Structure 1
Amino acid sequence: MIAYLLKRLLAGLATLVAASIVVFGVLEVVPGDPARLMLGMNASAETVQVLREQMGLDQPLVVRYLDWAGGMLALDFGESYTYSVPVIDLVTERVAVSLPLALMALALSTLIAIPVGIFSAARRGRAADTISMGAAQVGVAVPNFWFALLLIYVFAVWLRLVPAGGFPGWEAGIWPALKSLLLPAIALALPQAAILSRVTRSAMLEVLGEDYIRTARAKGMPRRYVLWRHALRNALIPVLTIMGLQFAFLLAGTIIIENVFYLPGLGRLIFQAITQRDLIVVESVMMLLVAAVIVVNFLVDLSYAAIDPRLRIGR
């Protein structure tokens, strides 16, 4: 078990170092001077030179990378040129929106997908299986921003049950804040639930064909007990893998949804930083998202060990 965890931890650290090199290298391969890109082509040479010194672009490449990586380790991400505030303050403010949104979407996706996948696997080849998997295929094919526009029209414009966009802030109260995140969470959750339900069905069908499942049925165990107690636990590893990937996507890939609903989250921050050429914010947020993905994958690996006893004994 310890060797398994150390191996996963070292792999995560190696991935983080490799990602930092790639993210840092992006600025080096961007055509033109990053400082001039941020200031615009009409900026004076003196202003560009001052910004180059502020960004450390006049230093050797290795020194710049080590300074940047050291700052990351000390949670010093630099200062945004556009907003003139530390990047860590921007991230802290925006993650208070994106993280609850991602957690809500993941919870909704899981609550929908796992029961649907088990229901479909237990009725393989029947009409219920065909209908549920057909609906899941539609969910996979339709983009989430189309769901978002449809939800806005139905629940915000027509029924007027929830706001169409914006975020009042957590200081306005938990319910108003959660209410403003409900439609974006549903728009994010439905396509992910469609993918997860298909994965759950496939994993369950593979497990239901095993000998120990047939033995449990032959002993007279109730069908529900066999499905939820024996089959589901052994089918969870691929399901947890997809859930980990989905959470990383929901945390990092909400750019379109946050812009549709005008939410001040990380996705919108990245979009604004790209359009405003605030490269310091872009690379800092990208590294934080990479670190979040690595942490989530490590937690998924820990869940593997909790589910599969063979990993705990080193087999």
Structure 2
Amino acid sequence: MLAYLLKRLAIGLATLVVASIVVFAVLEILPGDPARLMLGMNATPDAVEALREQMGLNQPIVLRYLHWIGGLLTLDFGRSYTYSVPVIDLVSERLVVSLPLALLALILSTAIAIPVGIFSAERRGRAADAVTMGAAQLGVAIPNFWFALLLIYVFAVWLRLVPAGGFPGWSAGFWPAFKGLILPAVALALPQAAILARVTRSALLEVLNEDYIRTARAKGMPRKTVLWRHALRNAMIPVVTILGLQFAFLLAGTIIIENVFYLPGLGRLVFQAITQRDLIVVQSVVMLLVAAVIVVNLLVDISYAIVDPRLRIAR
């Protein structure tokens, strides 16, 4: 078990180093001068030179990379050119919106998808299976921003149960903040639940065709016991994989939803930084999101060892 975890940790660290090189290199290969790109073509030479000095562009590329990595390790992401504040302050303000949104969407997606996948697998080939998988296929095909607009019209405009957009902040109380996140979370969760439900059904059907399942049934074990005690746990590995990928997507891929609902999250911060050519913010936030994805994948690998005992004794 320890060797397995150390190996996965080493792979994660190596991936993080390679990702940092790629993210840093993107800024270097941009055509033109990054400082002039940020200031615009009408900027004076003195202003461009001052920003180049602030960004350290006059230093060799290796020193700039090492300085940037050292800043990331000490949570010094640099200073935003647009907002004139440290990037870590911007990230902290936005993370308290994006992280609860991603967690809420993941909880909703899991709560919907796994029961639907089990329900469909139990009724393979029946009308209920066709209806649920047809709905899942529809959920995969329709983009989440369309779901978002539909949810706004029904629950915010028509029924007026929740606000159509904006976020009051956690200082306003749990319930007002929760009401501001529930529609975006549902809009994010429904397409992901459709994918997860199909994966759960496929994985469960594959396990139900195994010899040990047929043996358990032949011994007279109740169908529900076979399903929940033996089949479901062995079918969870692909489900856990998709869950890890979905959380990474929900955390890093909320740009559209946060702009539809006007939420001050990381996705909207990246969008604003791109439109305002604030490359320091873009570079730092993208690297932070890459690190979050790698950490989530590491947690998924650890969960493999918990779900599958064979990994704990593998050499």
Residue 220 of structure 2 aligns to which amino acid in structure 1? G
2:11 counterpart of 1:4: no
| 1:27 aligned counterpart, secondary structure | helix
| 1:76 aligned counterpart, secondary structure | coil
Q: Which residue of 2 aligns with 1:243?
A: 243
Q: Which residue of 1 aligns with 2:32?
A: 32
Give the Cα separation in 1 of the matches to 2:164 and 2:261. Answer: 7
Q: Which residue of 1 aligns with 2:312?
A: 312
Give the Cα separation in 1 of the matches to 2:307 and 2:154. Answer: 41
Give the Cα separation in 1 of the matches to 2:282 and 2:60. Answer: 21
Q: Which residue of 1 aligns with 2:124?
A: 124
Q: CA deviation at 1:32?
A: 0.8
C-alpha RMSD of the superposition:
0.7
Give the Cα separation in 1 of the matches to 2:106 and 2:159. Answer: 25
Give the Cα separation in 1 of the matches to 2:260 and 2:69. Answer: 34
Q: CA deviation at 1:217?
A: 1.5
Q: Which residue of 2 aligns with 1:210?
A: 210
Give the Cα separation in 1 of the matches to 2:228 and 2:304. Answer: 18
Residue 266 of structure 1 aligns to which amino acid in structure 2? L
Q: CA deviation at 1:227?
A: 1.2
Answer with 120-129 or 182-191: which moved more: 120-129
Q: Which residue of 2 aligns with 1:264?
A: 264
| 2:220 aligned counterpart, secondary structure | coil
Q: Which residue of 2 aligns with 1:108?
A: 108
Within 5 A, what are the aligned runs for 1:82-97?
Answer: 82-97=82-97
Residue 39 of structure 1 aligns to which amino acid in structure 2? L
| 1:85 aligned counterpart, secondary structure | coil
Answer with 185-194 or 121-130: which moved more: 121-130
Q: Which residue of 2 aligns with 1:225?
A: 225
Give the Cα separation in 2 of the matches to 1:282 and 1:294. Answer: 18
Q: CA deviation at 1:117?
A: 0.6
1:172-221: CA deviations, max 9, x gaps?
00011011100000000000000000000110010000111112212222
Q: Which residue of 1 aligns with 2:61?
A: 61
Q: Which residue of 1 aligns with 2:52?
A: 52
| 2:235 aligned counterpart, secondary structure | helix
1:55-96: CA deviations, max 9, x gaps?
000000111001001111111100000011110010011000
2:164 counterpart of 1:164: yes
TM-score by length of 2: 0.99
Give the Cα separation in 2 of the matches to 1:273 and 1:74. Answer: 22
| 1:83 aligned counterpart, secondary structure | coil
Q: CA deviation at 1:248?
A: 0.2
Give the Cα separation in 1 of the matches to 2:31 and 2:261. Answer: 33
Which ranges of structure 1 fall in alignment gaps of 5 or more residues?
A: none
Residue 97 of structure 1 aligns to which amino acid in structure 2? V
Q: CA deviation at 1:3?
A: 1.1
When the two structures are aligned, how many residues end up with a matched partner?
315
2:289 counterpart of 1:286: no
Which ranges of structure 2 fall in alignment gaps of 5 or more residues?
A: none
TM-score by length of 1: 0.99
Q: CA deviation at 1:223?
A: 1.6
Residue 243 of structure 2 aligns to which amino acid in structure 1? M
Give the Cα separation in 2 of the matches to 1:185 and 1:205. Answer: 29
1:251-309: CA deviations, max 9, x gaps?
00000000000000000000000000000000100011011001100000000000111
Residue 154 of structure 1 aligns to which amino acid in structure 2? V
